[in-house]
A and B are shown apart, each in its own frame.
Chain A
Amino acid sequence: MSTAQIISWFVAAITFGTVIMYGCIGETINQKAGGLNLGVPGIMQIGGIAALASAFIYESSAAAPSPAAGMIITLLAALAASALGGLLYAFLTVTLKVNQNVTGLTLTIFGTGIANFFGGNMMKLSGGVGTISVAATSGAFRTKLPVLSGISGYGSIIFSHGWMVYLAVIMAFAASYFLTRTRTGLNLRSVGENPATADAAGINVTRYKYLAAVIGCAICGLGGLFYVMDYIQGTWANDSAIEALGWLAVALVIFTSWKPRNAIWGAYLFGLCYWAYVYIPIGISRYLAMKLKLENVTYMQNLYKMLPYLVTIVVLCVVSRRRKRENQAPSSLGQSYFREER
């Protein structure tokens, strides 16, 4: 494998990892408050389509679209739409106490549907598959760092990205600091561990659960926005490809044992695994294909694509054997809280 290939593999991994890192940070906050939101894939699609649609409307109505304005509009739209998704989730699971698994899965189906509905219509408006273009806004998201991006060689692995890649890393540190070092974070974790205890300590459990769902989903939505604007460069395809990344984000939460800081390397590792199929030398694939008696060497690629999931399973096995109490899921994860239960 040449140096250039290695660099391009890592660059692809970081871009990929950024999408799921946002999803993972958002979902971790949600889960730390006891909300198992399986709607992450749906929320990401809602965030993505809201970003694209707002940019599309803005760019097709303005004569000379300003990249900065486009960026702000899309950010606000994505945050608002995904936060609304979170509000819906919180209303159903916290106020109406609907089963969290069912709500989350339904939210995923809902998000996929609504995103593809608007995505399909936008394609019609713009004239066909692959014709949606929000060049100005997407370009703004993909603007690289001044000066530093000029570094070539291995430095370009770190410095050749749009600003949202770095924001994700900052957010991972910030979320980690928030959860472990602040009093609000302590209260939030206590809600996820034992809502009855939190309630008895005078914490407003409902408010914490709502805010965790809304803010968590808003962060997930940023993942969708990044996917649309940077990863696929400002267009849309009705292939629900974000959904696969959404599930990986949920897997990543478990992989990181609910510690957002671990999401930084975890997400990039998932990215490396995901893109491995492109970069694993053909010689190795041929050899493996022969050993496995596969007719076509390209079948190996499908096997490689399973790597992130395989890694998650291995990590789950290791974590479950370690049994350290602090690395387990929040105790009340997935359960509704009734104060007057008897």
Chain B
Amino acid sequence: MNRIAISMRGINKRFGKKIIANKDVDLDIYHGEILSLLGENGSGKTTLMNMLSGVYYPDSGEILVDGQPVTITSPKDAYDLGIGMIHQHFKLIDIFTALENILIGLPKDNTEKKCRQEVGDICQRYGFDMDLDKKVYDMTVSEKETLEIVKTLYRGAKILILDEPTAVLTPQEITRLFTILRNMRDDGKAIVIITHKLNEVMEISDRITVLRKGENIGTVMKTETDEQKLTEMMVGEKITLDIARDFVENKAKRLEVKHLTVENSDGKKVVDDVTFDLYSGEILGIAGISGSGQKELLEAIMGLQKCEPGSSVVYNSTAHGVHELVGLSTRQIIQYGLHLAFVPEDRLGMGLVGNMGMTDNVMLKRYRKGKGPFLHRRQPEATAMKIKDELEVVTPALDYPVRRLSGGNVQKILVGREINNKPTVLMTAYAVRGLDINTSYAIYNLLNEQKKKGVAVIYVGEDLDVLLALCDRIMVLCSGRMNGMLDGRTAEKEEVGYLMTHLKEEA
């Protein structure tokens, strides 16, 4: 057995009075080993690790580093103990160069020259590739991740904690990262990966600790477990991991998108000449690294973005007839039965009003149907009740501010409202972002039901495994361009990943 690096004993952490983030957690981390910390969102993985990195301080419990009891009250304490954490949202300063980012907060004897030399050594040793004079805002996500790791290693970290390191990387980048992590492990470093992706856990880790609702459910060796067992530990019950994908007959063309182009305020084309058709009774997946134009594409169809001349979106439905959507107002487009459920990173940025309750949020999309100057609350209230019951939304009351609900409930309300409007076209973006497995599957089922009813569904997603399991067709966007249209039943993950990052040359 390897030497023990960190022991956590009986760690408790609460936020406020009600939220228990960690309860009596014991955890051991060894040198020369990769430990995966597995758990659903909100299971307390990040909080637990933040107590090692000095962001939080435990309410009670003991932390031992190399056998010695320690107190970690600030990130600086953590660095001094050789603990470095790479947070999910990178802690980098955009307008600084890589070198400046490494140097901030360090004692003055770390001169630029010394830093350049040592970083060069680190890069060579573990196989990194980095330009120290590049500004962070010019970097890709993968380069930023590299910078974070190098920064942590330069500070002498012997214990590395990575919070969801693969969340925004392409399959190729993930492979490269894993190679580096293995190099570091073989060099004797202790590595902890926080994740909820089972396939990656099985690929990279030596040992796996599962957290559920803030408690340590158990630790297993990778060789002695499989994905199904881990899921049961994570969720606490048996669930099937298959997503149903039915084939719907008699498809009709709903949307005909031609040469759709959107420019941002800098004059850069964020959606560049995209052409595709959307049919009823199908789920069209849109894959792409974040910021490849997914958001703008959906918004352009909804009339929320100004399209450049030459763009055309022809809408065809039996109920509403044939219409050119470009140039119409969003209100008009909604009346034709197109609905967009977009889940932004902060969840409440678009779609719902945080300080309003369920009823008022339902009303946002239908208050115009009322007559006279006064609001009619009865019907929206009934709708809100229906959404609450059907989707099992947990809320103390219908008028309870949705801001205070958990992310999963907020997303259920958002998607539920859009479905309730009986759409002919339903567009969702990141509908399962941050949701636990059960709720995610509930959302997939909802989308499948809509598809069976003949609704044309667009699903913008981040998880390639889900895209490949759920969608009938997958469109890949790269830098705003359509870089491929694949059949969801036959496409390979590597192929999608390649198309996401390598723009095809124009023939």
Contacts and interface: CB of A to CB of B under 8 A. Distances in A.
B93 A190 contact: yes
B94 A186 contact: no
B95 A196 contact: no
A325 interface: yes
A197 B92 contact: yes
Interface in B113-162: 135, 137
Given A186-B103, A190-B104, A342-B15, A200 B91 contact: yes
B74 A202 contact: yes
Contact of B104 (A201, A331, A339): A201
B78 to A, nearest CB: 9
Contact of A339 (B55, B87, B94, B105): B55
Q: Is the interface of B mostly helix, strand, loop or mixed?
A: loop
B430 interface: no
Contacts of B444: none
A200 B327 CA distance: 48
A200 B75 contact: yes
Interface string A315-342: 0000000010110000100000001101
B365 interface: no
Interface string A182-195: 01001101100110
A197 B137 CA distance: 15
Contacts of A331: 94
A323 B266 contact: yes
B96 A199 contact: no
Given A193-B94, A201-B105, A186 B74 contact: no
A198 B55 contact: no
Centre residue among A186, A200, A203 by max chain B CB count within 10 A:
A200
- Size category of the binding interface on chain B: 20 to 34
A205 B75 CA distance: 11
A257 B90 CA distance: 26
Interface string B57-94: 00000000000000000111001000001010001111
Contacts of B55: 199-200, 339-340
Interface string B329-343: 000000000000000
A194 B137 contact: no
Nearest to B56: A340
Nearest to A194: B93
A190 B96 contact: yes
B53 to A, nearest CB: 7
B91 A203 contact: no
Interface residues of A, number: 22
A339 B135 CA distance: 26
A335 to B, nearest CB: 15
Contacts of A189: 93, 96
A325 B137 CA distance: 9
Given A200-B53, A200-B55, A187 B94 contact: no
B436 interface: no
Contacts of A200: 53, 55, 75, 85, 87, 91
B75 A183 contact: no
Nearest to B94: A325
B72 to A, nearest CB: 12
B94 A196 contact: no
A256 to B, nearest CB: 17
B256 interface: no
A198 B104 CA distance: 7
A328 to B, nearest CB: 8
B200 interface: no
B100 interface: yes
Interface in B263-317: 266
B108 interface: yes
Contact of A197 (B74, B93, B106): B93
A203 B105 contact: yes
A211 B56 CA distance: 25
A339 B56 CA distance: 8
A186 B15 contact: no
Interface string A266-278: 0000000000000
B40 to A, nearest CB: 16
Contact of A202 (B75, B94, B95): B75
Contacts of B87: 200
Contact of B93 (A183, A193, A323, A340): A193
Contacts of B95: 193, 325-326
A196 B88 CA distance: 13
A325 B139 CA distance: 14
Most chain B CB atoms below 10 A, which of A183, A196, A331:
A183
A187 B104 contact: yes
A185 to B, nearest CB: 11
A201 B75 contact: yes
Contacts of B75: 199-202
Nearest to A192: B93
B94 A183 contact: no
Contacts of B79: 202
Given A201-B105, A325-B95, 16 more contacts: A183-B108, A186-B103, A187-B104, A190-B104, A194-B91, A194-B93, A197-B92, A199-B74, A199-B75, A200-B85, A200-B87, A200-B91, A201-B75, A201-B106, A325-B94, A326-B95
6 contacts: A186-B104, A193-B94, A193-B96, A197-B91, A325-B135, A339-B55
